[in-house]
Amino acid sequence: MNRQFIKLTLGCVAGTVVLLTNPKPAYAAYEISIAGYMYDKNNNNQYSTDSNITNMSLSDIPMPGFDNVGIANVNNNLNIREKPGTNEKIIAKLPKNGGCEILEIDQESGWAKIKSGKITGYVDSSYLITGTKASNLAKEVAVLVATVNNDAKVLNVRKEPTVNSEMIEQVAVGEELIVLDPLVVTYGEDYNKWVKISLDSDEEDGTVGYVSKEFVDLSYKLTSAFTLEEVQYGAGVSSKRVLLINTAKKYLGYPYRWGGNSLTKGVDCSGFTKELYSKVLGISLSRTSRQQAKGGKTISRTQLKPGDLVFYGNNTSGYINHVGIYIGDNKIIHASNKRDGIKISSMTYRQPLKYVRYIND
């Protein structure tokens, strides 16, 4: 099937949007509302269309609004407590540069009541960036994501922007994907609007793929808090597995760095598993996810225990490019990507390709 790609430039003349063909990459500026302020966010992605689409423009991409935004000013995670006070129960953690709505601040005690994601609790306001400074920072740290919507039972990720292209992954409803290009239009396709995305992998820029725009919702998002319940691994596991998982959880929110080998300064997915297994268990793993998948003992999904490794990759070719540590309750902890760093995800946020056990107990 022939496809035609035409690069576009968006311009405004006397209040009218004009589309111009341009042999160079198109640069566009578009207004987005964030934290109560309007601003121009530059975009240097290329867009493609055909002669049948003459009025294509960038979709409105929302940023969840804040009446009073706060940004976590910490090295790793800010503790959110059930009540104001350092001795009160910790109910959640807000990662570095994570966003919250400040509901109120007690000027006498310095404790702030906040809401982030589904969590409402209290933090020490001295660890929050607030006001205009927070609004400006939100513009810099917010990331464009594509959330799989309910129109898709499962979202197919393809190698090229066409339904005839190889399917490289399937992603569950509700999962978020980092967007590289919010609009790619192809000629002569039933599904002609695509979003270019990046999948978590041990490749420097992730694994690049395309998803149909019909099945995702685009928005700019700040990282939100995660509950302590989200990091529970369950009971009935050996002490060495408990130690491994508890140690891994200490690095939640720490940075992702491709090729990195430091749990504090930055690691990629296989660096995370390698360093943890060595540090906690004295078990030596190979450096890449593909090599790690070849070692150990291959097990079934029903045999999984916290501490075992879960591998992901190309569903068609079987090529492994990502790994996480199973922590129980159908969840993994992994060095995800540059946006999220070390995080917890549903084990089925992508379709696992292999399960491997290195811990003999």
Catalytic amino acids?
A: 269, 322, 334
What is the rounded CA–CA span in Å between residue 254 and residue 259? Answer: 15
What is the rounded CA–CA span in Å between residue 37 and residue 133? Answer: 12
Burial 108-143 (b: 16+ CB within 10 A, else e): eeebbbbbbbebbbbbbbebbbbeeebbebbbeebb
CA angle 142, 148, 149 (to 5 degrees): 115
> Taking a C-beta distance cutoff of 8 angstroms, is the pair 196, 145 a contact?
no
Give the chain's largest Cα–Cα span: 72
What is the rounded CA–CA span in Å between residue 343 and residue 208? Answer: 20
Locus of tokens 């000013």? 73
* 136 Cβ contact list (under 8 Å, min separation 6): none
State CA 218 to chain mean position distance: 13
Both tokens assigned to 22: 């341009």
What is the rounded CA–CA span in Å between residue 52 and residue 302? Answer: 51
